[in-house]
Structure 1
Amino acid sequence: MNYLKLIRPVNLLFIAMVQLFFKFGLFQPYSIDTVLNNLSFSLLIIATLCIAAGGYVINDIYDVNIDRINKPTKVIVGTKISEKNANRYYILLNVIGVGIGFFLANKIGKPGFAALFIGISALLYLYTSYLKSILLVGNLLISALVALSIIIVGIFDLVPGITDQNRESLSAVFRILIDYALFAFLLNFIREIVKDMQDINGDKNGGMNTLPIAIGRKRTILIVFILGVIALAAVIAYMYTFLYDRQWTVLYFLLCVVAPLLFFCVKAWTADSPKDYSRLSVLLKLIMLFGMGSILLHPFAH
């Protein structure tokens, strides 16, 4: 059970769900020319989850001292699992993830694609060991990797099957994929800053240079508010540009994405305690889930 807690099963489930949303909510209903059958797509999900899980493990190994301050009751490495076993667990997860990625890349005739999994694994290690202590760099990197967990579906399932005949339709679908990836990037970036506000005490002790440490909580929450407004404006612009003739989809976005984002902005404006920051973090997670869930509406859009 402790090994399961170490890899954040809820977060991994979210990643898997989003990838499945695109496969079965976007690609299949539109009869898009994909190259991965259900078994191969399942392997792609497993590879992604293994690399992500490895990232969580190495993060907990490096953050033991910080976590003892920020969340003392939830520290696993060094209390319930030895650091040596945690490192073995990290290596095993990465070997499985990269190994499956290598197998899939060769199966679709694009062996170079295996470098993606190696690169993501290396970036997660660099993030934990060095980059997360640099102002905003770690936040941007993790948010980019979250976006990449969406884009990688298109890279493996769409790109190898592109021909002159289907290029236009596949490009249109890939653009939708990119739009959702950008949405995930922005929301995750805001959430990373909110989490830094929650963890300010431990981060100070650990020598981190996060935004709240650099400019203070009051200025940081103002930036969070501004980013929330930008996200809200971007979603409304997207609706106006692409969804104006799809009544049910517009209604879903208004109720499940726009309204919660507006509520987030209101709450961010007045947030001034760790409990407030925790609620904002949970709210962003729900908004991201509802936003990604809108993919399932595409087959009923017309």
Structure 2
Amino acid sequence: MLIAAAGYIINDYFDIKIDQVNHPEKVVLGKVIPRKTAIIAHTLINVVAIALAGSVALAARHPEWLALQLTCTALLWVYSTTYKRRYMSGNIIVSALTAFTVVALFVYEPRLHLAAGAPLTRSRAALSSLPVWILAVYAYFAFMLTWVREIVKDMEDIEGDAVDGCVTMPIKRGLGYAAWFASALAALAIIPLVIWGVVLLQYEYTMLGTYILALLALPLAVWIGYLWRGPAGPAHYHAASRMLKVIMLLGISSLLIYKFQ
């Protein structure tokens, strides 16, 4: 969480020019908070985060684990300074880092290592002993939806990005191509959700299976239709981005149902 917070700070620091065009009313750095303070806060927050990660790694006798957090911190820095302005690579970095919050559980939870090697049988007990497959679906969902949302954000911020010399997908290929690409990614996210929702119903995880189909797969399908309705302007894409936030929140909330069942 701290590493993500520091990443947001440094991203805002390097995006002042873009934000002054796209969201001038929301710009805080340079107005309310001095830019120097932002850099200091970014550094301190990262130091605390690395210290916490280091203490866990040492306690577990796996100092190499610290490389995971150091890599995330470095990627967020180069994303904000360089890759954010390059075609597609910045979107993929942010998406991968989001999915990594789930994938990290495979490193830190030894029981998942045992579960990953267990045979898959058609029984409810077998499914409950293999959360590794559940987490794989969550990681995939996080990656795909974050990638979609990053593209939609680029569509919303096309004017400011162009002023700053960014080469985002909407700028290089146009809004129409970006909309088709985002829709295709959303469809690829729906397919495993539907499959896994049906599988969960077969394993008698009725509540979770119904939740995934009704509150994740269906809303995402409706979102694709919404993306193509309305004027192709910042307000429309901002609303589409907010809808994706809600769907992502619903996806995270489904973990509570999985825990309950």
> Are the structure 2 counterparts of residues 275 and 167 from structure 1 closer, same or farther at C-alpha, using a change threshold of 3 Å?
same
Q: How far has the Cα of 1:286 moved from its partner?
A: 1.1
> Are the structure 2 counterparts of residues 212 and 111 from structure 1 closer, same or farther at C-alpha, using a change threshold of 3 Å?
same
Query: 1:289 is matched with which residue?
Result: 249
Q: How far has the Cα of 1:165 moved from its partner?
A: 9.5
| Rounded Cα–Cα distance in structure 1 between residues aligned with 2:51 and 2:75 | 17
Alignment map for 1:21-32 (pairs within 5 Å): none
Q: How far has the Cα of 1:293 moved from its partner?
A: 1.5
Query: 2:49 is matched with which residue?
Result: 97
Larger deviation: 260-269 or 170-179? 170-179
Q: How far has the Cα of 1:264 moved from its partner?
A: 0.1
| Rounded Cα–Cα distance in structure 2 between residues aligned with 1:197 and 1:166 | 39
- 1:119 is aligned to 2:71: yes
Query: 2:84 is matched with which residue?
Result: 132
Q: How far has the Cα of 1:243 moved from its partner?
A: 3.6
Query: 2:223 is matched with which residue?
Result: 264
Q: Does the CA-based 8 Å contact 2:155-2:170 persist in structure 1?
A: yes
Query: 1:205 is matched with which residue?
Result: 163
Give the counterpart letter for 1:80 in structure 2: V
- 1:56 is aligned to 2:56: no
Larger deviation: 122-131 or 234-243? 234-243
* Structure 1: 4+ residue segments shifted above 4 A: 161-167
Local SS of the residue matching 2:190: helix
Q: Any idea what the Cα deviations from partners look like across 1:30-67, whole Å, max 9, x if unmatched?
A: xxxxxxxxxxxxxxxxxxx1111110011011111111
The normalised TM-score by structure 1 is 0.78
Q: Does the CA-based 8 Å contact 1:224-1:268 persist in structure 2?
A: no
Q: How far has the Cα of 1:234 moved from its partner?
A: 2.4
The normalised TM-score by structure 2 is 0.89
Query: 1:185 is matched with which residue?
Result: 143
Report which structure shows greater RCO (CA 8 Å, sep ≥6). 1
- 1:155 is aligned to 2:113: no
Give the counterpart letter for 1:233 in structure 2: I
Q: Any idea what the Cα deviations from partners look like across 1:134-158, whole Å, max 9, x if unmatched?
A: 10000000000001112223322x1
Give the counterpart letter for 1:115 in structure 2: A
Q: CA RMSD in A?
A: 2.1
Q: Does the CA-based 8 Å contact 1:225-1:269 persist in structure 2?
A: no
Query: 2:23 is matched with which residue?
Result: 71
Unpaired runs of 5+ residues, structure 1, are 1-48
- 1:222 is aligned to 2:180: yes
Q: Does the CA-based 8 Å contact 1:59-1:128 persist in structure 2?
A: yes
Equivalent residue pairs, number = 251
| Rounded Cα–Cα distance in structure 1 between residues aligned with 2:228 and 2:195 | 22
| Rounded Cα–Cα distance in structure 2 between residues aligned with 1:289 and 1:240 | 21
Unpaired runs of 5+ residues, structure 2, are 119-125
Q: How far has the Cα of 1:225 moved from its partner?
A: 1.9
Q: Does the CA-based 8 Å contact 1:222-1:269 persist in structure 2?
A: no
Alignment map for 1:159-170 (pairs within 5 Å): 159=110, 168=118
> Are the structure 2 counterparts of residues 74 and 246 from structure 1 closer, same or farther at C-alpha, using a change threshold of 3 Å?
same
Local SS of the residue matching 1:119: helix
> Are the structure 2 counterparts of residues 164 and 264 from structure 1 closer, same or farther at C-alpha, using a change threshold of 3 Å?
closer
